[in-house]
Amino acid sequence: MAGKGIKKKGITVSKKDDFSAWYGELVQKAELADLRYNIKGFVCYMPWAVISIKKMFAKYEKALEKYGHQPLIMPSLIPESNFHLEAKHVEGFAPEVFWVTEAGDGKKKFEEKLALRPTGETAFYKMYSLWIQSYKDLPFKRYQSGSVWRYESKMTRPFFRGREFHWIEAHNVFATLSDAEKQIKEDMKITHEMIGDEFAIPVIFFERPKWDMFPGAVRTHAADALTESGKVIQLPSTHLLGTNFSKPFDVSFVDKDGEKRYGYITCYGPAISRIYGAMVAIHGDDVGLVLPFDLAPVQAVIVPILFEDSKDNVLSECRKIEKMLSGRYSVKVDERDDKSPGEKFNEWEMKGVPVRIEVGPKDVEKGQAVVVTRHDGKKNAVKVSGIEKAVTDIAKRFTKELKDRQMKNFAERIVDCKTMPELEKAISDNNIVRCGFCSMELDGEKCADIIKDKTGAEVRGKKVDKENKKFLKCVVCGKPAKETVYVAKSY
């Protein structure tokens, strides 16, 4: 049940008209998070969200282990000295770090500040230098699931952006650059399998420009998803770190010839809580939450239509259907007598239950039930003997249909632009722009800054997959275009 002060009525604003207000209402009224915790940027995740998030973690962890990663649990505190071993890394993260400086009653001051982990490189690699000794130890692929903390200065938004978020980070070491580059491709494959196929969120993988790379990386690749507001949200990113961390942390090994060599490192970070927020934002509608079938806390809800003279028969039929389905699916019979059927329909639609099964006295007489699917609103009368098959058929197609719908929407929102006025218009219409650009090296940052100053949008990078569209000139400066890039506002 909702806590005191949390309203449960339907969403009062359209997703298309005011995405920000719509998202806030959905998070509150579907009981996904409570924002009233008394530290800014820290949010209480509620059971309905946590059940889905735990399923997401389980799917991702299984995939990583399938591809050879093993789990770790690393300390949450990192000595300040670890950060200073890689100059670009400390420069990039220092403004966002929460520091622990004392313990107990305040009289115990630490000789060295300890950072609440903003990301794990400086913890992992300190230990990798001890754990990796020989070429026989490679490849070395490990991951952990946990929290990270960053003093986020931008406006926070539940799940999207906060000062504590929940993620998986994988850190891998290889003997050669070629093997490390293969891992980057594998990370992107895992992303498409998880984000695209399991979570039904279309993404485009971009190679980020030099001025927008992970601190300390040689190359950064990141998957962007598109929301109704026209803003993209970065989901998993994978980084080629080369030997930038292995040298200062001495992540080295003795090769077959007895020579000491430094490992080539990659890291990969699917932020599960952010992916959940993207899933809520992308699939939800003006009725409420829509979730991929496997991730829904309740996959099928059975709502009895009760009248006093037939109550027992209807409830008996509902429990029969529940027993039929419960071996394969998460099923609930809503027997509450303080809610009307209509109120129950609205509540379960708000919470994004994929299948609703309605059973009334006339349905019992006919040996049927009415099956309603959440994502498309289709309603069909189904014989009770065929309900398990009907739900199984829905389960097989439900998530794919969500993905196909969003793939179409994503493709339609990419607009080609040759001039700055065209770009400004497309961005103001909440689209992604594809255009020519002079350079993704540091000398192109001036043109990127002009775009940001005029539109608030950023150069997201060039597509990792084959790009068929070519432009002659940079959309900003008019110089010959070396790259085709994508531009969008972002969270």
In a domain, 292, yes or no: no
Say whether pLDDT at 377 is over 70.
yes
In a domain, 2, yes or no: no
In a domain, 251, yes or no: yes
- Cβ of 129: how many Cβ atoms within 10 Å? 16
Say whether pLDDT at 2 is over 50.
no
Position 230 scores a pLDDT of 83
Position 9 scores a pLDDT of 55
Average pLDDT over residues 232-245: 95
pLDDT digits (tens, 9 = 90+) for 84-119: 887 677 777 778 899 999 998 877 899 999 999 999
Say whether pLDDT at 7 is over 50.
no
Pairwise CA distance, residues 459 & 486, whole Å: 6
Mean predicted lDDT score pLDDT of the chain: 93
List all residues 6 or more positions away from 484 whose beta carbon is below 8 Å from its beta carbon. 434, 435, 436, 437, 462, 463, 467, 469, 470, 471
In a domain, 373, yes or no: yes
- Answer with the residue of higher pLDDT: 106 or 37: 37
Q: Please state the length of the chain.
A: 491
Say whether pLDDT at 418 is over 50.
yes
Position 157 scores a pLDDT of 84
Q: What is the CATH number of the domain that holds 376?
A: 3.40.50.800
**Between 272-283 and 47-66, two packed helices, what is the crossing angle to 10 degrees?**
120
Q: What is the CATH number of the domain that holds 471?
A: 3.30.110.30
Cis peptide before 139 (omega within 30 of 0): yes
Say whether pLDDT at 6 is over 70.
no
Domain that holds residue 351: 300-394
- 201 in Cβ contact with 279 (< 8 Å): yes
Position 228 scores a pLDDT of 82
| Residues 327, 199 share a domain | no
How many domains, the chain? 3
Greatest CA span in the chain, whole angstroms? Answer: 86
Distance of CA 5 to the CA centre of its chain: 28
Residue 51, helix vs strand vs coil:
helix
- Cβ of 362: how many Cβ atoms within 10 Å? 10
| Residues 311, 269 share a domain | no
What are the distances in angstroms from CA 415 to CA 309, 404, 446? 61, 20, 23
Average pLDDT over residues 185-203: 96
Looking at 394, 429, 464, the residue that finishes a domain is 394
| Residues 477, 377 share a domain | no
- Helix (H) or strand (E) run with residue 110 in it: strand 108-116
Question: pLDDT > 90: what percent of the chain?
Answer: 85
In terms of Cα–Cα distance, which of 398, 397, 366 is closest to 382? 366
Tokens standing for residue 402: 């969500």
In a domain, 429, yes or no: yes
| Residues 482, 419 share a domain | yes
In a domain, 407, yes or no: no
Pairwise CA distance, residues 53 & 35, whole Å: 18
Average pLDDT over residues 291-297: 98
What are the distances in angstroms from CA 252 to CA 128, 238, 261, 334? 9, 22, 5, 59
Pairwise CA distance, residues 9 & 342, whole Å: 13
In a domain, 403, yes or no: no
| Residues 432, 339 share a domain | no
| Residues 371, 230 share a domain | no
Say whether pLDDT at 1 is over 50.
no
In terms of Cα–Cα distance, which of 156, 125, 375 is closest to 250? 125
| Residues 85, 38 share a domain | yes
| Residues 148, 94 share a domain | yes
Position 491 scores a pLDDT of 84
Say whether pLDDT at 405 is over 60.
yes
Tokens standing for residue 146: 């946990």
| Residues 104, 224 share a domain | yes
Most confident of 108-112, 148-152, 368-372: 368-372
E strands, 354-405, are 355-359, 368-373, 379-383
Say whether pLDDT at 122 is over 70.
yes
Q: Phi and psi of 231, rounded to 5°?
A: -90, 145
